[in-house]
Chain A
């Protein structure tokens, strides 16, 4: 007896997954499967690529062409896959450290090229796999095992970073807003060009415990209370926005030529 979506898109022999109780990663993975189901994609033509970290274990559970690469390099591998075979729907799953620290250069360049890859960042604000070190999205002042006196770094806004670098679709959601997140992932995959969905996830084991954020449910309740949609925020007075974070679709630009399409047009031109 299983969730039919799970039976259809997951490698059942590999479940249950390795993630901790209350880890948000599974919520995002299910939303991804549902988005793929809504789009009716051919499983043989979907390729899911990841780097290293907790979130990067996701492809091992998903029944597609799956590629678990080296730390930070998922987008570089994925760029090769997509350019070599553009008929594949290429989806990259990456963590905040994987995507924006060690893989930050690949992120901005994949966005700049507008290559048709969907990147889903599982942002839990911490390096979980290695035991709770601060990442490029750990809030200033928070604790990590390598920030025992408080993090003095300023955090990245990954969705806006991708948008600024040239991504033609950039959005953010949270694991509380799972329905909205699923729709965003669906939109992102259908989008022609580089698309980014940053999902704020939860790491109750390391980030939560270190920063006294309470249970997984408490952490998710914080997401519910703290995130407001960018369209709603536009109409709110400043005092109502204090201490809130923005989610929603930040950028949706149609009509920009996708990278592999541009390359195919060179091949066509040379045939003449």
Chain B
């Protein structure tokens, strides 16, 4: 059988991955540099019986996507910087109402309208703290076109498995560059579907069995009439002002992430075993970091890479161990310092943490990363 090999953009691979995962609903608003995700979804969704809608604004885009998810459809929305800011309130809604949803943010230069066609990694902290209040967060960041495909599938799987919105943080580089990728055959990647109510059992919309963390989800129209709200609610789904209940419900939601770190956290390590310095990077910047490592090693400097694939939750345990192994950790990211604070928080002085980055719309080059490494050594 011939392999299904295609040359495509990261943004296109995102849609291919979404359809592979079973996406049947997309709602969004055009914004550079994510627009191809909407365009490709508009083209392909009706061919598989799915639905696409271009809404009147970014807020409506995520709102309609949540509505679609509630009818039992796997649902996605995509955006970039300003749109990600606008979507924050409803991201929180999806978290408290426990809606499986994939939110793609093809990061571009900010703040405000900023640099619409230039790459950035400026929403690392916004992904975690952008919506108000405490809440669980899952965010993934691909470095390649093929990984965009894979992580989109994974984002859907995690959203379905944990009944929570999952963010895919790509950027203008990964979104727009073209690479040859092999599309997996159907069945090659595992696909996870949300658990539905058990037939014959009384459905308690936000109730879980002892030891479980994720409530089963009934589709609107399936015969289980229930209530969904952004207010704190008890297991019946109806609003509750009880502080005891709010604490219990939030604790359960947080544990969906906290108790499943091994399932959620993915990273890649490149030439770390014999390295004398650790470069810490993710997304498109990690591509430059790999080249920097190759160049440094030609010069006799043994550098290695830790590449975060899961941005949130943070790979705390592994990074702590790296701090024991290395005197120096150089964080390379396309911003003026965001993820570096998380590294510092975890490392707690056990290693020297340095930062190399910028936010002027230029890419981070291997030479800049290599220069930083030489400076700290």
Contacts and interface: CB of A to CB of B under 8 A. Distances in A.
Q: Do chains A and B touch in the complex (CB under 8 A)?
A: yes
Interface of A: 11, 14, 43-45, 47, 49, 59-60, 63-70, 73, 76-85, 87-88, 105-106, 109, 263, 266-267, 270
Interface stretch (B58-66, B120-128, B252-260): B58-66
Nearest to B92: A70
Given A79-B60, A85-B220, A106-B56, A68 B227 contact: yes
Contacts of B70: 67, 80-81
Interface in B65-116: 65-73, 75, 89-90, 93
Main secondary structure on chain B at its contact with chain A? mixed
A67 B90 CA distance: 13
A109 B56 contact: yes
Contacts of B67: 49, 67, 76-82, 84
8 closest A-B pairs (Cβ-Cβ)?
A: A80-B67, A80-B64, A76-B63, A76-B60, A84-B68, A109-B56, A85-B71, A68-B229
Interface residues of B, number: 42
B46 A106 contact: no
A45 B221 CA distance: 5
A11 B129 CA distance: 36
B226 interface: yes
B27 interface: yes
Contacts of A63: 225
B64 A70 contact: no
Contact of A84 (B51, B89, B225, B230): B51
Nearest to A56: B229
Contacts of B65: 80
B63 A77 contact: yes
> A11, A65, A270 — which one has the most chain B CB atoms within 10 A of its CB?
A65
B53 interface: yes
B49 interface: yes
Contacts of A43: 225
Contact of B63 (A73, A88, A267): A73
B228 interface: yes
A14 B72 CA distance: 26
A266 B223 CA distance: 28
Contact of A60 (B24, B68, B230, B239): B239
Given A47-B220, A83-B68, A64 B225 contact: yes
A69 B230 contact: yes
A207 B334 CA distance: 52
Given A68-B227, A87-B221, A270 B93 contact: no
| Residue of A66, A69, A84, A106 contacting most chain B CB atoms (<10 Å) | A84
A239 to B, nearest CB: 43
Contact of A79 (B46, B53, B226, B230): B53
Contacts of A106: 56, 60
A80 to B, nearest CB: 3
Given A67-B70, A73-B90, A84-B68, A270 B63 contact: no
A44 B225 CA distance: 6
Given A106-B60, A263-B46, A60 B227 contact: yes
B55 interface: yes
